[in-house]
């Protein structure tokens, strides 16, 4: 009887630092109550509640920023959550994604004569899952966050009941997601076997002394590999990308935007967290894996994107190649002996934040072009957009150019950041490969632009309406894209602090 | 006796697992799954994880597989599928080879690494020590100290499950009722 | 004589690995989403077994706690997954992943 | 080796000295006794039910076979055994054959954790000495006892479900789907009211639960405040598919329900299982809420039956208490009309589950206030208020959703 | 004196920044202008482009002739975190390119009608001007790269939106080729900045700091040089990376072709001078044989390919390949004469090839074909047109007295000592140029007029004015190149000195005395 009977003292709970989570939870409660108590709310209100919740959560996260600056990064809540700028930035990205996607969804549901609070609740739960992933300091917590996020996404992907593609996308995503979760979990189990803990800081401590875990411990090696496989599925890195195009195409467009933004942010943050705070002493073991994944993702993503004719599929492949870029940043961060390795972390996180806005903007336009029913996403459906809706077309052009990495857009700043990080640790090969492959990728964006501007519209294309909220999202995203492209200083200032991770 | 239990349970587990993969009728597959789950519950018991064994049976056998069966029966998809036609040329052997390779990797890992598994512990108290509820008590302690966050996140997870099902299952007026069987 | 052989944790671990492999085969080979899904459950169970075996081996309770959470996750996953399958099957009763032709893979 | 036996059979002091012949013999004896008692009790239960209902309906009931018609069940049983064993053509043979056993075995398994007697008064926690060995008057006392019961009852669904499905016929299928939905639904309420008991007693083991109910005041029905007991009783009735929740075999709608296609010995297994389950469930209720084999005692006075060994006396108390509940079940059957299916589901989901959850929260709040030395006078009203608000919200939501459903068309 | 005053004035007025922002704001204004008032749109475009031209003239006027360093510099912190600044400056090398840019754009805007989508056309054109200006003026690697890449976007849309049949293909090819080059350059730029940290102690993208203060290992510098060189080689375009150019030129609208030939191609050659030689002198010297060979190959290939073209515009495009080969030849000779010639030739090629494209565009306007075989005897129908064509063509061939001669001659003479055999081979390019251009002229303008060409209209007054500006520039520079050379020379000398110092080799032979050509003489006088 080691435990004297009934005196469990639970961990102290830093309520203040959990504000964003509570705000999101509050939003969920409000939406669910409202959804169940009132017969039907007037249009747009559900979406606005959801996005306001996200915005408030975002602001509260920003308010925490200075608090965290003053106190050192540390683990809170029974050492299960990490409190550092990294987590806060991830939270900001995710909240921004919820904010924008809720607005998109609002118009989307109106157009397809559907409404209800459920999808927004799922956005918010997904956000909570994502934030937990970003902030987790324990593999089990990470896994639970991952599942919360993933399950929300599965449902969201399948949520359009009028399109069989949507449900098929949900199913495909679900099966492969569950499959990858199992791998991730097995990885956790093996790492647990090697280190006797699932706590990330604990793993780091265990691995720091060579006595407790030998250098060539097979459990750790295989466990690391399996965890990487699981996370690579989630970030859609080649060769674990096969679900992406189908799911992106099938899911409702605002949901696709959400998957590509918040989903990616959370998964990448988790990948960074696992690799860099738990396993930094074993970089030599896993860096080559990241290297290969990065290269394959960029090249294969770009190459396959070119062969597509459906814009959502194209963007899916392009997101794969973007994932490759971010992996380049992780690869750069995996040089703990270099003084500049931290730039890899901040590079990736900046990339994620910028890509979040960028990709949501892109999909916002795609969603509008998809028209009622959310089906018109072939390249030919974009014909004549430039003539019909020049402002929209211009915004799309800005987004596409930014994705291609043209200077004076946020996309360029993002790419510049990771490439710089890679060059700083002398990973020239991957940097050059990434840049060259991005040229192939640029072809894809050009194809869309050709359809938009240079080809005449076909007769059967119905006119495109731009509802207010979606228009707002597009405008905000476009302005953000340009502003960051021109004056990125303030953002870079902030993201430089991200490199200080809890437990390092 | 422990060996005997292990062999029986392992036989259950493997037979059940093979049943899931090989049986063509989904109901039979689900029953095989139950067999596996029971085998695993027995193994939990023999590893002195009584609480998990009970939860395993309650959750898996009592809820999960029942749900499976429910769906199968409700949708009337219980006809046997033809295992021959579903093969996709090279895909099946490839998958099997891949999986075999993976298992080989894992087994090698386990055999190689078993000695390095850290044996020193600060106390997993088993029932042997005379504390009747030791296992449950320890798990409770672990859940409400180290993993309290995880525990709270679980609630969100369950919200997702509930809301998700509502989204997926609810029908609108505009959609036609296509299901033949209703409960 | 046989009774003197006591199964060690390694046995359980290996059994878990084999079970995981069988589940993997199931996901990769079968085309019925329900059965693929069951195979995923097999994989999760394999992990559970591994966790418990390691927990015993390391004399550390946290492995068992992890299993507890995995069980919760599995339950939630099943609910959602079956929801999706039901939603699809209501459109057509006979389903195989290969039949999901609307999306070319 | 010790570990495994301990784990499998529960902590029985029998095995403190390792595996010996005598203890093994005792265990086997216990198994046999429990099994035989089960069978006989079932037989008597059937007779009891018929007789009691007949009495309530001003009939005589079985009176031909044996004294008071006591052997009627035996006669019925023998007849059933010799009937032709039919396998419907469209049935799934394997599952069709398997299902009755899946129904029958759990019914008996659950009985294993019921403390059947023993002296809880001497501070020994119900441990008695037989043949020079210390043991409990119960087949097994695993640390997870109550969970075990719950697990077993969740397995009982399979028998019914598969029986209906494997018959390859429409009515049994509908019956079994109904039954399993019902059982799964009410299991939640059952578990939640069980949780209240666990919260109060602080243990999952059945002997521990019994041990904590030494006087009438500490019987769990009092300690948990009656509500969990009521919910448990209702849910248990639903779990058993007994009237008024016997929609499974609603004759008017579904012929015989899930077992329509069954005949002969397989049918008798279902039949046995049903009554065995009733007995087991009564025993569980007694164990959980009414002190099991503990005699009634108020304050320091104990209703002690003179001249009988304390541990044997426990068994008598238990049987007496169980009989009360068996009678209650029969009474239900005789007096209550059958629910409609939607009413059944509404009762389960919209009333019992929330109520048991709310009560559980209340108990937890009280417990927390106790531990933290908070003022109960503030905590309790506050928690009641919170729960009330939630309840009102819920009712409003139900109303809104039924309105929605009317306007949008029914779901599922 | 005047220069002195305006120089100090420029301290207060950021003239270079204005050069970039005036067209940029013009572009935005054009976008925002009403669709219903196209005349306003045109006016805005005109005002901003002419304003830019005015600014560039003002800058030219106040330029210190004898100063070889950067003038009118404007330096502000931009992205402090990465050591990136807004650093602009102009010297003799970029001066005339800036002026050329400033002048060419209003001409194109005034003189060439895009037929449809005026608003967008003008907006892209002005954005293009801002981009080109920025590229020529940037003294920060990051800034340069930004402008260098930005230029692609408007050009892509100009070719794709207003070009001919194969426009999308050509535009895409142009975009991807150039972007591929810049992919390497970006990595090179970052690597330069990061590696310079070793010697500087901090990360900066400032060109002047990097070139003057940072030091790289020999091998490192060579790698970095190549990273830059690939981008510039594509842009120039250097053989064998030139295949995008004929397509882009042929398919681009006339205005696009003029701009493309006039200034865009110069980004490559300018880049070699500014970022190749200046940053990595040793590596540039080391790579000299390679680039000379490629340059000469380009000269010959371009000439031969031009000879075989059936399409008049394609012919001019190939002639560009040849001409730019000369410029690269001059660049990698590392003598101040050759370099000055190269810079001269950049401007001259801009004027004469621009004019040629303009003329070809006019032919297409009239005849809707560019096939040489379908054109015949135009001289008799449109004599003034033919005359203008003749003058421009002769300038392109390099006939003494016209501008083309000055640059080519300086290049050849300046490179002779350092790169004798290459020069010898390259000179044949001059002869070939005469061959294909004259032959083309003969086929198009001489001979009997057939029915299709009989109604070929004579030049309009507006076109006439436009051509006259070009021809005036051609003749003036050809006859009196001194004002240009005197401004180019000091900067080039500084550059050559820098190269010599860093590479430890001497290139500048004492050959100034030997020169007899008038241009050389003037240059000699200027040198003293």
The domain tally of chain C equals 1
Residues B85-95: pLDDT tens digits? 555 567 778 88
d(CA E214, CA E198): 8
E95 pLDDT more than 90: no
Q: What is the mean pLDDT of residues E205-217?
A: 84
For residue B70, list chain D residues with Cβ-Cβ distance below 8 A.
161, 177, 180-181
Which residues on C lie below 8 Å from A175 (Cβ)?
Answer: 27, 33, 36-37, 40, 81, 97
Let me know if residue C75 belongs to a domain: yes
Residue E81 burial by Cβ neighbours in a 10 Å radius (0-12, 13-18, 19+): middle
Q: Out of D144, D155, D162, whose CB is closest to B51?
A: D144
Q: Indicate the range of B96-110, D7-21, E250-264, E318-332 predicted with least confidence.
A: D7-21
Of A448-452, B124-128, C73-77, E472-476, give the lowest mean pLDDT range.
Answer: B124-128
* Cα-Cα-Cα-Cα dihedral sign, residues D194, D199, D205, D209: negative
Q: Residue A220's pLDDT is what?
A: 86
State the average pLDDT for chain D: 82
- Rounded Cα distance between A410 and A351, Å, is 9
Segments forming the whole domain that contains residue B61: 1-81
The pLDDT of D332-351, averaged and rounded, is 87
Q: Which residues pair with E90 in a beta bridge?
A: E71
Average pLDDT over residues B5-34: 90
pLDDT at D18 over 60: no
C70–chain B nearest CA distance, Å: 10
Query: Quick one: pLDDT band at residue B109, thresholds 50, 70, 90?
Result: confident
Burial of E256 (0-12, 13-18, 19+ CB in 10 A): buried
The C-alpha of B92 sits at a distance from chain C's nearest C-alpha, in angstroms, of 5
- pLDDT for position A230: 92
Cβ of C14 within 8 Å of Cβ of B111? The answer is: yes
3-class DSSP assignment, residue E86? strand
Whole-angstrom Cα Rg for chain C: 18
Mutation target to probe the B interface, by most B beta carbons within 10 A, among D11, D144, D152, D173 is: D144
For residue E371, the 8-state DSSP code is: B
The reply to whether residue A174 touches residue C63, judged by beta carbons under 8 angstroms, is no
> What contacts A337, CB < 8 A, 6 or more positions away?
none
pLDDT of residue C3: 53
Collect all residues with Cβ–Cβ distance below 8 Å to D67 and sequence separation of at least 6: none
Q: Are residues B77 and B1 in the same domain?
A: yes
**Which residue of chain A has the CA closest to B131?**
A1
Residue after which a domain boundary falls, among B44, B62, B81:
B81
Low-confidence stretches of chain A (pLDDT beneath 50): 1-5
Mean pLDDT of all residues belonging to chain E: 83
What is the count of residue pairs from A and C with beta carbons less than 8 Å apart? 114
Domain spans of chain D? 77-339
CATH number of domain containing B6: 1.20.120.1200
What value does the mean pLDDT of chain B take?
78
- CB contact under 8 Å between A492 and E82, yes or no, is yes
Distance separating the N- and C-terminal Cα atoms of chain B? 46
Contact residues on chain B for C82, CB-CB shorter than 8 A = 67-68, 71
Which chains have 3 or more CB–CB distances shorter than 8 Å to chain D?
A: A, B
| Residue A271 confidence (pLDDT) | 92
> Could you tell me the pLDDT band of residue E527, with boundaries at 50, 70 and 90?
very low
Q: Would the CB atoms of B172 and D408 count as touching at under 8 Å?
A: yes
- Alpha carbon distance D300, A75 (integer Å): 54
pLDDT at residue number E26: 87
Name the neighbours of C, counting chains with at least 3 Cβ pairs within 8 A: A, B
- Check if D405 contacts A (Cβ < 8 Å): no
B118 domain-assigned: no
Q: Give the residue extent of every domain in chain A.
A: 18-499
Average pLDDT over residues D237-245: 86
3-state secondary structure of E248: helix
| Whether B37 contacts chain D with CB within 8 A | no
> Which of A6, A33, A39 lies closest to D404 in CB terms?
A39
- The pLDDT score that the predictor gives to residue E522 is 46
Per CB-CB distance under 8 Å, the chain B contacts of D147 are: 51, 54-55, 58
Contact A214 B118 (CB under 8 A): no
In a domain, C56, yes or no: yes
Q: Is the pLDDT of residue E344 over 80?
A: yes
Q: Does the residue B107 lie in any domain? A: no
Distance CA D227, CA D241 (A): 21
The reply to whether C105 falls in a domain is no
Q: Give residue A21's pLDDT.
A: 92
* Model confidence pLDDT, tens digit, residues D304-330: 777 777 777 888 888 899 999 999 999
What's the total number of domains in chain B?
2
Rounded CA Rg of chain E: 22
State the SS3 of chain D: CHHHHHHHHECCHHHHHCCCHHHHHHHHHHHHHHHHHHHHHHHHHHHHHHHHHHHHCCCCCCCCCCHHHCCHHHHHHHHHHCCCCCCCCCCCHHHHHHHHHHHHHHHHHHHHHCCCCCCCCCCCCCEEEECCEEEECCCCECCCHHHHHHHHHHHHHHHHHHHHHHCCCHHHHHHHHHHHHHHHHHHHHHHHHHHHHHHHHCCCCHHHHHHCCCCHHHCHHHHCCCHHHHHHHHHHHHHCCCCCCCHHHCHHHHCCHHHCCCCHHHHHHHHHHHHHHHHHHHHHHHHHHCCCCCCCEECCEECCCCCCCHHHHHHHHHHHHHHHHHHHHHHHHHHCCCCCHHHHHHHHHHHHHHHHHHHHHHHHHHHHHHHHCCCHHHHHHHHHHHHHHHHHHHHHHHHHHHHHHHHHCCCC
Please state, in angstroms and rounded to a whole number, the distance separating the CA atoms of residues E297 and E301. Answer: 6
Decide: A291 and A330 in contact? Cβ < 8 Å: no
pLDDT number for residue B59 = 87
Task: Compare A42 and E438 and report the one with higher pLDDT.
Answer: E438
Residues 153-172 on B with a CB inside 8 Å of C are 154, 157-158, 160-162, 164-165, 167-169
**Average predicted confidence (pLDDT) for chain C:** 82
Distance CA D192, CA E489 (A): 93
Interface probe with B: pick from A3, A134, A159, most Cβ of B within 10 Å: A3
Q: Give chain B positions within 8 Å (CB) of A218.
A: 108-109, 112-113, 116
- From the list E163, E169, E150, the residue with the least C-alpha distance to E117 is E163
Burial (CB count within 10 angstroms: exposed 0-12, middle 13-18, buried 19+), residue B2: middle
- Would you state the structure tokens that stand for residue A44, as one six-digit string? 């747009």
Q: For residue C26, what is the domain's CATH number? A: 1.10.287.3510
CB E179 within 8 A of CB A439: yes
pLDDT tens-digit series, residues C15-32:
999 999 999 998 888 888
Question: Would you place residue E516 in the very low, low, confident or very high pLDDT band (cuts 50, 70, 90)?
Answer: very low
Residue at which a domain ends, from B81, B115, B147: B81
Contact predicate E297/E230, CB 8 Å: no
Distance from the B99 Cα atom to the nearest Cα atom in chain A, whole angstroms? 12
pLDDT at E237 exceeding the cut of 90: no
Please determine, for residue E523, whether its predicted confidence score (pLDDT) is greater than 50: no
CB-nearest to D143 from B50, B66, B172 is B50
| Residue in E239, E201, E231 with CA at minimum distance from that of residue E318 | E239
pLDDT of residue D407: 67
Query: If we measure between CA atoms, which residue out of D126, D325, D359, D347 comes closest to residue D238?
Result: D347
Q: How many helices (H) and strands (E) does chain E have?
A: 25, 2
Q: Has residue C101 been placed in a domain?
A: no
The answer as to whether B66 is a domain residue is: yes
Q: What is the mean pLDDT of residues C51-76?
A: 89
Structural domain boundaries enclosing C30: 8-93
| Angle ∠(A343,A344,A345) on CA atoms, nearest 5 | 90
Regarding chains B and D, contact by 3 or more CB pairs under 8 A is answered as: yes
Q: How far is CA E346 from the centre of its chain?
A: 5
Residues A219/B113, Cβ–Cβ less than 8 Å: yes
Contact E391, E471 (CB under 8 A): yes
Which candidate from B131, B156, B166 shows the least CB-CB separation from A148?
Answer: B156
Nearest-Cα distance to chain D for A2, in Å, is 18
D407/A37 Cβ within 8 A: no
Residue D5 has pLDDT above 70, yes or no: no
């Amino acid at each position: 009887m080691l435990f004297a009977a009934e005196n469990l003292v639970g961990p102290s709970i830093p309520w203040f630092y959990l504000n964003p989570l509570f705000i999101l939870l509050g939003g969920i409660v409000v939406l669910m109550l409202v959804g169940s108590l009132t017969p039907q709310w007037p249009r747009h209100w559900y979406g606005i509640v959801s996005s306001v919740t996200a915005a408030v959560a975002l602001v509260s996260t920003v308010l925490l920023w200075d608090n965290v600056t003053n106190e050192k990064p540390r683990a809170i809540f029974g050492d299960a959550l990490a409190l550092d700028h990294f987590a806060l930035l991830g939270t900001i990205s995710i909240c921004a994604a919820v904010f924008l996607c809720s607005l998109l969804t609002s118009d989307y549901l109106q157009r397809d004569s559907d409404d209800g609070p459920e999808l927004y609740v799922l956005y918010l739960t997904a956000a909570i899952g994502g934030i937990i992933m970003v902030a987790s300091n324990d593999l089990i917590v990470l896994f639970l966050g991952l599942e919360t996020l993933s399950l929300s996404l599965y449902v969201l992907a399948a949520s359009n009941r009028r399109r069989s593609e949507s449900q098929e996308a949900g199913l495909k995503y679900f099966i492969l997601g569950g499959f990858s979760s199992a791998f991730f979990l097995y990885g956790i189990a093996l790492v647990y076997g090697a280190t006797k803990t699932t706590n990330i800081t604990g793993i780091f401590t265990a691995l720091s002394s060579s006595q407790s875990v030998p250098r060539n411990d097979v459990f750790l090696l295989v466990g690391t590999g399996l965890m990487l496989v699981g996370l690579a599925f989630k970030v859609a890195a080649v060769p674990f990308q096969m679900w992406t195009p189908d799911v992106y195409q099938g899911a409702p467009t605002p949901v696709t935007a959400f998957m590509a933004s918040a989903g990616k942010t959370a998964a990448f943050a988790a990948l960074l967290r696992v690799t860099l705070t738990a396993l930094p002493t074993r970089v030599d073991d896993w860096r080559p894996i990241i290297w290969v994944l990065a290269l394959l993702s960029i090249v294969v993503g770009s190459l396959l994107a070119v062969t597509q004719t459906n814009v959502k599929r194209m963007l899916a492949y392009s997101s794969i190649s973007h994932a490759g870029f971010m992996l380049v940043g992780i690869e750069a961060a995996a040089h703990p002996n270099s003084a500049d390795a931290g730039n890899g972390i901040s590079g990736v996180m900046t990339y994620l934040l910028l890509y979040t806005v960028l990709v949501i903007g892109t999909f916002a336009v795609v969603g509008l072009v998809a028209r009622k029913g959310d089906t018109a996403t072939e390249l030919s459906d974009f014909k004549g957009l430039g003539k019909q809706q020049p402002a929209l077309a211009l915004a799309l052009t800005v987004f596409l150019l930014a994705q291609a990495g043209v200077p004076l857009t946020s996309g360029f700043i993002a790419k510049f950041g990771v490439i710089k990080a890679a060059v700083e640790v002398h990973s020239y090969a991957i940097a050059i490969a990434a840049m060259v492959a991005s040229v192939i990728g640029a072809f894809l964006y050009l194809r869309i632009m050709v359809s938009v501007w240079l080809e005449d519209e076909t007769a059967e294309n119905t006119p495109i309406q731009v509802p207010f909220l979606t228009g707002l999202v597009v405008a905000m995203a476009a302005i953000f894209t340009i502003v960051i492209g021109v004056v990125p200083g303030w953002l870079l200032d902030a993201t430089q602090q991200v490199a200080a991770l809890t437990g390092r | 006796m422990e060996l005997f239990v292990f062999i029986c349970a392992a036989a259950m587990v493997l037979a059940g697992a093979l049943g899931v993969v090989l049986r063509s009728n989904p109901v039979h597959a689900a029953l095989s799954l139950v067999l596996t789950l029971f085998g695993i519950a027995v193994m939990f018991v023999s590893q002195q994880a009584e609480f998990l064994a009970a939860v395993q049976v309650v959750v898996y056998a009592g809820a999960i597989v029942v749900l499976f069966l429910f769906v199968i029966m409700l949708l009337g998809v219980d006809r046997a599928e033809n295992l021959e036609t579903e093969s996709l040329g090279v895909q099946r052997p490839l998958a099997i080879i891949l999986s075999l390779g993976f298992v080989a990797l894992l087994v090698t890992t386990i055999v190689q690494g078993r000695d390095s598994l850290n044996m020193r512990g600060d106390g997993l108290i088993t029932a042997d020590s005379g504390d009747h509820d030791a296992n449950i008590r320890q798990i409770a302690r672990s859940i409400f100290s180290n993993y309290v966050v995880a525990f709270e996140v679980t609630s969100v997870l369950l919200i997702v499950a509930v809301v998700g099902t509502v989204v997926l299952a609810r029908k609108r007026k505009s959609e036609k009722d296509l299901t033949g069987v209703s409960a | 004589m046989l009774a003197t052989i006591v199964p060690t944790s390694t046995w359980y671990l290996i059994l878990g690995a084999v079970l995981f492999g069988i589940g993997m085969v199931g996901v990769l080979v079968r085309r019925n989403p329900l059965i693929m899904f069951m195979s995923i459950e097999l994989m999760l169970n394999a992990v559970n077994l591994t966790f418990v075996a390691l927990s015993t081996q390391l004399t550390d309770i946290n492995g068992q706690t992890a299993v507890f959470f995995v069980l919760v996750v599995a339950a939630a996953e099943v609910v959602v997954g079956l929801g999706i399958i039901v939603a699809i099957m209501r459109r057509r009763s006979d389903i195989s992943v290969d039949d999901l032709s609307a999306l070319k893979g | 080796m010790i570990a495994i036996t301990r784990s499998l059979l529960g902590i029985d002091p029998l095995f403190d000295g390792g595996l010996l012949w005598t203890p093994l013999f005792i265990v086997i004896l216990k198994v046999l006794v429990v099994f035989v008692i089960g069978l006989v009790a079932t037989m008597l239960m059937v007779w009891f039910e018929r007789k009691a209902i007949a009495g309530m309906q001003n009939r005589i009931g079985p009176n031909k076979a044996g004294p008071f018609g006591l052997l009627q069940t035996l006669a019925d049983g023998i007849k059933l055994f010799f009937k032709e064993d039919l396998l419907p053509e469209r049935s799934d043979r394997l599952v069709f054959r398997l299902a009755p056993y899946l129904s029958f075995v759990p019914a008996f398994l659950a009985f294993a954790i019921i403390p059947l007697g023993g002296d809880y008064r001497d501070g020994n926690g119900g441990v008695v000495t037989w043949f020079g060995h210390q043991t409990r008057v119960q087949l097994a006392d695993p640390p997870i006892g109550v969970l075990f019961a719950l697990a077993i009852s969740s397995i009982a669904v399979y028998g019914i479900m598969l029986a209906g499905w494997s018959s390859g016929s429409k009515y049994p299928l509908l019956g079994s789907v109904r039954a399993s939905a019902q059982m799964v639904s009410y299991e939640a309420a059952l578990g939640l009211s069980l949780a209240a008991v666990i919260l109060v007693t602080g243990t999952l083991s059945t002997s521990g639960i019994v041990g904590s109910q030494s006087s009438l005041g500490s019987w769990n029905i009092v300690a948990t405040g009656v509500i969990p007991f009521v919910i448990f009783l209702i849910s248990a009735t639903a779990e058993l598919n007994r009237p008024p929740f016997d929609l499974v075999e609603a004759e008017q709608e579904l012929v015989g329900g899930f077992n329509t296609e069954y005949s002969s010995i397989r049918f008798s297994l279902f039949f046995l299982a049903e009554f065995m389950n009733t007995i087991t469930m009564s025993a569980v209720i007694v164990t959980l809420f009414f002190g099991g084999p503990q005699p009634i005692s108020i304050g320091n006075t104990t209703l002690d039956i003179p001249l009988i060994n304390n541990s044997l006396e426990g068994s008598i108390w238990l049987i007496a208490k169980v009989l009360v509940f068996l009678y209650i079940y029969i009474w239900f059957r005789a007096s209550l009309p059958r629910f409609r299916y939607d009413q059944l589901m509404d009762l389960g989901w919209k009333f019992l589950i929330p109520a048991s959850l709310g009560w559980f929260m209340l108990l937890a709040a009280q417990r927390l206030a106790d531990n933290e030395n908070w003022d109960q006078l503030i905590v309790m009203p506050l928690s009641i208020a919170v729960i009330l608000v939630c309840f009102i919200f819920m009712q409003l939501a139900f109303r809104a959703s039924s309105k929605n459903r009317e306007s949008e068309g029914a779901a599922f | 004196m005047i220069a002195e005053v305006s120089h100090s004035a420029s301290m207060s007025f950021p003239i270079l920044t204005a050069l970039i922002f005036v067209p940029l704001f013009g572009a935005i204004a054009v976008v925002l202008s009403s669709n219903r008032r196209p005349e306003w749109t045109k006016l805005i475009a005109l005002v901003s482009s002419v304003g830019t031209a005015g600014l560039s003239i003002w800058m030219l006027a106040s330029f210190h002739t004898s100063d070889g360093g950067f003038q009118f510099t404007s330096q502000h912190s931009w992205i402090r975190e990465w050591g990136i600044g807004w650093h602009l400056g102009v010297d003799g090398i970029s001066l005339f390119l800036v002026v050329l840019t400033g002048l060419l754009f209003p001409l194109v805007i005034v003189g060439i009608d895009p037929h449809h989508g005026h608003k967008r056309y003008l907006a892209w054109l002005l954005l293009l001007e801002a981009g080109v200006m920025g590229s020529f003026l940037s003294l920060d690697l990051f800034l340069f790269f930004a402008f260098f890449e930005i230029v692609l976007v408007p050009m892509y849309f100009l070719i794709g939106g207003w070009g001919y049949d194969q426009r999308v293909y050509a535009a895409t090819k142009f975009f991807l080729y150039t972007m591929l080059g810049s992919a390497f350059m970006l990595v090179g730029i970052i690597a330069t900045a990061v590696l310079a940290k070793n010697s500087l102690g901090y990360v900066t993208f400032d060109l002047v700091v990097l070139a003057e203060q940072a030091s790289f290992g020999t091998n490192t510098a060579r790698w970095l040089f190549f990273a830059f060189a690939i981008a510039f080689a594509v842009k120039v375009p250097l053989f064998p990376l030139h295949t995008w150019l004929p397509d882009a030129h042929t398919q681009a609208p006339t205005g696009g072709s003029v701009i493309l030939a006039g200034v865009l191609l110069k980004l490559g050659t300018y880049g070699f001078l500014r970022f190749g030689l200046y940053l990595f002198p040793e590596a540039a010297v080391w790579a000299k044989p390679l680039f000379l060979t490629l340059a000469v190959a380009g000269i010959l290939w371009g000439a031969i390919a031009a000879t075989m073209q059936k399409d008049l515009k394609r012919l001019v495009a190939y002639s560009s390949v040849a001409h730019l080969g000369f410029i690269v030849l001059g660049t990698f000779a590392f003598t101040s004469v050759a370099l000055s010639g190269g810079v001269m030739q950049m401007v001259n090629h801009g004027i004469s090839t621009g004019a040629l494209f303009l003329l070809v565009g006019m032919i297409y306007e009239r005849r809707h074909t560019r096939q040489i075989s379908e054109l015949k005897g135009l001289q008799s129908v449109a004599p003034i047109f033919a005359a203008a064509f003749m003058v421009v063509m002769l300038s392109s061939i390099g006939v003494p007295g016209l501008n083309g001669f000055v640059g080519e001659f300086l290049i050849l003479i300046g490179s002779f000592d350092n790169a004798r055999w290459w020069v010898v081979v390259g000179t044949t390019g001059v002869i070939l140029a005469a061959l294909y251009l004259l032959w083309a002229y003969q086929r198009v303008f001489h001979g009997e007029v057939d029915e299709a060409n009989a109604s070929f209209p004579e030049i309009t007054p507006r076109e006439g004015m436009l051509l006259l500006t070009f021809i005036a520039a051609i003749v003036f520079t050809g006859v009196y190149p001194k004002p240009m050379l005197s401004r180019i020379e000091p900067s080039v000398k500084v550059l050559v000195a820098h190269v010599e110092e860093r590479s430890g080799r001497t290139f500048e032979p004492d050959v100034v005395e030997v020169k007899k050509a008038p241009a050389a003489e003037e240059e000699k006088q200027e040198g003293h």
